[in-house]
Structure 1
Amino acid sequence: MNMFSKTFSTLLLLFMYFQVSAQTFKVNGLITDQNKKALDYASVSLIRLPDSVSMGLQSTNKDGVYEFSTVKPGKYLIKALMIGYQKNRSATFEINKENFLVPAISLADQSTNLKEVNIVSKTPVIDQKADRTIVNVEQMNTAGDNALEVISRAPGIKLDKDENIIMKGKSGVNVMIDGKLSYMSGAELTTYLKSLPGSVLSKIELISNPPASFDAAGTGGFINIKLKRNKMEGTNGNANLGGGYGKYEKIYGGVNLNHNAGKLSSYVRLNAGHYNSFNRLTLNRTIGNETFNQVNFWHPITNSLNYSAGADYFINERHTIGLMFKGYTSPVKTNVDSNSPNYNAQGIKQGEVNMVNPQDNGSDNHALNFNYRFKIDTTGKELGFDADYVNYTNDRVSSFTNTYLDGNGNLTSPPVQLRDNGMGDVSIYALKLDYTHPFTKNLKLEAGLKSSWVKSLSDVQFDSLKTVGWINDPRRTNLFSYNENINAGYVSLNQSFKTFDFKIGARIEQTRGNGFSSGSNTSIKRNYWKLFPNVSALYKINKDHQLAASYRKSINRPSYSSLNPFAFYSDPYTALQGNPLLQPSYADNFEVNYNLKNFRVLTVSYSTVNGSQSNVIYQNDASKESISRPENLNKETNLYFATGSPFDVVKWWNNNTELSASYNKITSPVQGSGYNVSKWSWGVSSDNTFTLPKNYSLTLYGYYEAPSVSGLYRNLENYAVSVGAKKSFWKKNATLSVRLNDVFATGKFRANLAYNNINTYWQNEWENRKISVNLSYKFGNMKIKTARSRKTGTGEEENRVGG
Structure 2
Amino acid sequence: MGLYNLKRYATFTPLNRQLKQPNIMIKLFKLSATLLILICFFQVQAQTFKVSGQITDQTKKPLDYASVALIHLPDSVSLGLQVTTKEGVFEFKNIKAGRYFIKVLMVGFDKKQSLSFEVKEKDVLVPTVALKAQSIDLKEVNIISRVPVIDQKADRTIVNVEQMNTAGDNALEVLSRAPGIKLDKDENIILKGKSGANIMIDGKMSYMSGAELTTYLKSLPGSVLSKIELITNPPASFDAAGTAGFINIKVKRNKMQGTNGNANLGGGYGKYEKVYGGLNLNYNIGKISSYVRLNAGRYNSFNRLTLNRAIGNTQYNQVNFWHPITNSLNYSAGADYFLNEKHTVGVMFKGYASPDETNVDSNSPNYNAIGVKQGQVNMINPQENHSGNYALNFNYRFKMDTAGRELGFDADYVNYSNNKTERFTNTYFDGNDNLLGQPINLRNNGMGEVAIYALKLDYVHPITKTLKLETGWKSSWVTAQSDVRFDSLKTAGWINDARRTNAFNYKENINAGYASLNQSFKKIDIKIGIRLEQTLGNGFSSGTNTTIERKYWKLFPNLSASWAINDQNQLTASYRKSINRPSYRSLNPFAFYSDPYTALQGNPLLQPSYANNYELNYSLKNFRLLSVSYATTKGSEAEVIYQNDATKESISRPENLNQVSSLYFATGSPVDLFKWWNNNTEVSASYNKTTSPVQGSGFSAAQWSWGVSSDNTFTLPKNYALSLYGYYEAPSVSGLFKNLENYAINIGAKKTFWKKNATLSVKLNDVFATGKFRATLNYNNINTYWQNEWENRKVSVNLAIKFGNMKIKTARNRRTSTGEEEGRAGN
Name the TM-score, length of structure 2 as normaliser.
Answer: 0.93
How far apart are 1:785 and its partner, in Å? 1.4
**Paired amino acid for 1:355:** M
How far apart are 1:112 and its partner, in Å? 3.8
Does the aligned pair in 1 maintain the 2:198–2:242 contact within 8 Å?
Answer: yes
Which of these residues, 335, 350, 370, is aligned with residue 374 of structure 2? 350
Task: Tell whether 2:678 aligns with 1:654.
Answer: yes
Q: Separation in 2 of the partners of 1:555 and 1:59?
A: 44
Matching residue of 1:578: 602
Structure 1 pair 261–454 and aligned structure 2 pair: CA distance change class (3 A): same
Q: Separation in 1 of the partners of 2:566 and 2:144?
A: 28
Which of these residues, 185, 190, 195, is aligned with residue 166 of structure 1? 190
How far apart are 1:515 and its partner, in Å? 0.7
Q: Separation in 2 of the partners of 1:713 and 1:187?
A: 19
Determine helix, strand or coil for the equivalent of 2:807: coil
In structure 1, list runs of 5 or more residues that go unmatched: 793-803
CA distances 1:630-670 after superposition (whole Å, capped 9, x unpaired): 11111110100000000011110111000000011111111
**Paired amino acid for 1:47:** I
Matching residue of 2:437: 413
Q: Separation in 1 of the partners of 2:534 and 2:28?
A: 11
Structure 1 pair 462–494 and aligned structure 2 pair: CA distance change class (3 A): same
**Paired amino acid for 2:608:** P
How far apart are 1:749 and its partner, in Å? 0.4
Matching residue of 1:695: 719
> 509-518 or 112-121, which moves further after superposition?
112-121
How far apart are 1:15 and its partner, in Å? 7.5
Matching residue of 1:463: 487
Matching residue of 1:737: 761
Q: Separation in 2 of the partners of 1:262 and 1:192?
A: 34
Matching residue of 2:509: 485
Q: Separation in 2 of the partners of 1:93 and 1:52?
A: 13
Structure 1 pair 339–505 and aligned structure 2 pair: CA distance change class (3 A): same
Does the aligned pair in 2 maintain the 1:30–1:65 contact within 8 Å?
Answer: yes
Does the aligned pair in 1 maintain the 2:93–2:340 contact within 8 Å?
Answer: no
Structure 1 pair 392–311 and aligned structure 2 pair: CA distance change class (3 A): same
Matching residue of 2:533: 509
In structure 2, list runs of 5 or more residues that go unmatched: 1-23, 817-827
CA RMSD of aligned residues (A): 2.0
Q: Separation in 2 of the partners of 1:701 and 1:112?
A: 36
Determine helix, strand or coil for the equivalent of 2:223: helix
Q: Separation in 1 of the partners of 2:773 and 2:332?
A: 34
How far apart are 1:33 and its partner, in Å? 2.7
Structure 1 pair 9–788 and aligned structure 2 pair: CA distance change class (3 A): closer
Matching residue of 2:254: 230
Task: Tell whether 2:135 aligns with 1:111.
Answer: yes
Does the aligned pair in 2 maintain the 1:645–1:656 contact within 8 Å?
Answer: yes
Determine helix, strand or coil for the equivalent of 1:579: coil
Which of these residues, 607, 614, 639, is aligned with residue 615 of structure 1? 639
Matching residue of 1:256: 280
Q: Separation in 2 of the partners of 1:690 and 1:91?
A: 48
Structure 1 pair 134–481 and aligned structure 2 pair: CA distance change class (3 A): same
Matching residue of 1:679: 703
How far apart are 1:748 and its partner, in Å? 0.4
**Paired amino acid for 1:501:** D
Matching residue of 2:775: 751
> 294-303 or 96-105, which moves further after superposition?
96-105
> 646-655 or 48-57, which moves further after superposition?
48-57
Task: Tell whether 2:548 aligns with 1:524.
Answer: yes
Matching residue of 2:362: 338
Q: Separation in 2 of the partners of 1:744 and 1:228?
A: 32
Which of these residues, 730, 738, 761, is aligned with residue 714 of structure 1? 738
Q: Separation in 1 of the partners of 2:31 and 2:661?
A: 38
Q: Separation in 1 of the partners of 2:385 and 2:454?
A: 28
Task: Tell whether 2:159 aligns with 1:135.
Answer: yes
**Paired amino acid for 1:678:** A
CA distances 1:675-733 after superposition (whole Å, capped 9, x unpaired): 11111100000001110111111111100000000011000000001111111111111
Determine helix, strand or coil for the equivalent of 1:538: strand
Matching residue of 2:750: 726
Does the aligned pair in 2 maintain the 1:62–1:262 contact within 8 Å?
Answer: no
Structure 1 pair 63–450 and aligned structure 2 pair: CA distance change class (3 A): farther
Does the aligned pair in 2 maintain the 1:45–1:58 contact within 8 Å?
Answer: yes
Q: Separation in 2 of the partners of 1:512 and 1:220?
A: 23
Matching residue of 2:383: 359
> 70-79 or 11-20, which moves further after superposition?
11-20
Q: Separation in 2 of the partners of 1:140 and 1:118?
A: 17
Structure 1 pair 499–18 and aligned structure 2 pair: CA distance change class (3 A): farther
Q: How does 1:81-100 map to 2 (within 5 A)?
A: 81-100=105-124
Name the TM-score, length of structure 1 as normaliser.
Answer: 0.96
Question: How many aligned residue pairs are there?
Answer: 792
Matching residue of 2:58: 34
Matching residue of 2:5: none
Q: Separation in 2 of the partners of 1:790 and 1:136?
A: 18
Determine helix, strand or coil for the equivalent of 1:330: strand
Q: How does 1:634-673 map to 2 (within 5 A)?
A: 634-673=658-697
Does the aligned pair in 2 maintain the 1:449–1:488 contact within 8 Å?
Answer: yes
Determine helix, strand or coil for the equivalent of 2:162: helix
How far apart are 1:35 and its partner, in Å? 3.3
**Paired amino acid for 1:263:** K
Matching residue of 2:13: none
**Paired amino acid for 1:71:** I
CA distances 1:327-361 after superposition (whole Å, capped 9, x unpaired): 00000100000000001111110000000000001
How far apart are 1:7 and its partner, in Å? 11
**Paired amino acid for 1:613:** E
How far apart are 1:88 and its partner, in Å? 1.6
**Paired amino acid for 2:713:** T
Structure 1 pair 118–616 and aligned structure 2 pair: CA distance change class (3 A): closer
Which of these residues, 632, 639, 652, is aligned with residue 656 of structure 2? 632
Q: Separation in 2 of the partners of 1:18 and 1:609?
A: 46
Matching residue of 1:312: 336
Does the aligned pair in 2 maintain the 1:8–1:449 contact within 8 Å?
Answer: no
**Paired amino acid for 1:186:** G
How far apart are 1:14 and its partner, in Å? 7.7
Which of these residues, 221, 224, 244, is aligned with residue 200 of structure 1? 224
Determine helix, strand or coil for the equivalent of 2:256: coil
Determine helix, strand or coil for the equivalent of 2:143: coil
How far apart are 1:402 and its partner, in Å? 0.3
CA distances 1:765-795 after superposition (whole Å, capped 9, x unpaired): 1011111111111111111112222489xxx
How far apart are 1:100 and its partner, in Å? 2.3
Q: How does 1:402-481 map to 2 (within 5 A)?
A: 402-481=426-505
**Paired amino acid for 1:561:** R
Determine helix, strand or coil for the equivalent of 1:233: strand
Does the aligned pair in 2 maintain the 1:434–1:446 contact within 8 Å?
Answer: yes
Structure 1 pair 9–239 and aligned structure 2 pair: CA distance change class (3 A): closer
Q: Separation in 1 of the partners of 2:516 and 2:28?
A: 18
How far apart are 1:61 and its partner, in Å? 3.6
CA distances 1:123-145 after superposition (whole Å, capped 9, x unpaired): 10000000111111111111111
Which of these residues, 768, 786, 792, is aligned with residue 762 of structure 1? 786
Determine helix, strand or coil for the equivalent of 1:119: helix
Q: Separation in 2 of the partners of 1:367 and 1:10?
A: 25
Does the aligned pair in 2 maintain the 1:4–1:487 contact within 8 Å?
Answer: no
CA distances 1:304-332 after superposition (whole Å, capped 9, x unpaired): 00001111111111111111000000001
Q: Separation in 2 of the partners of 1:376 and 1:595?
A: 36
Does the aligned pair in 2 maintain the 1:125–1:136 contact within 8 Å?
Answer: yes
How far apart are 1:58 and its partner, in Å? 2.8
**Paired amino acid for 1:199:** S
**Paired amino acid for 2:431:** G
> 573-582 or 156-165, which moves further after superposition?
573-582
Does the aligned pair in 1 maintain the 2:478–2:509 contact within 8 Å?
Answer: yes
Q: How does 1:225-304 map to 2 (within 5 A)?
A: 225-304=249-328
Matching residue of 2:20: none
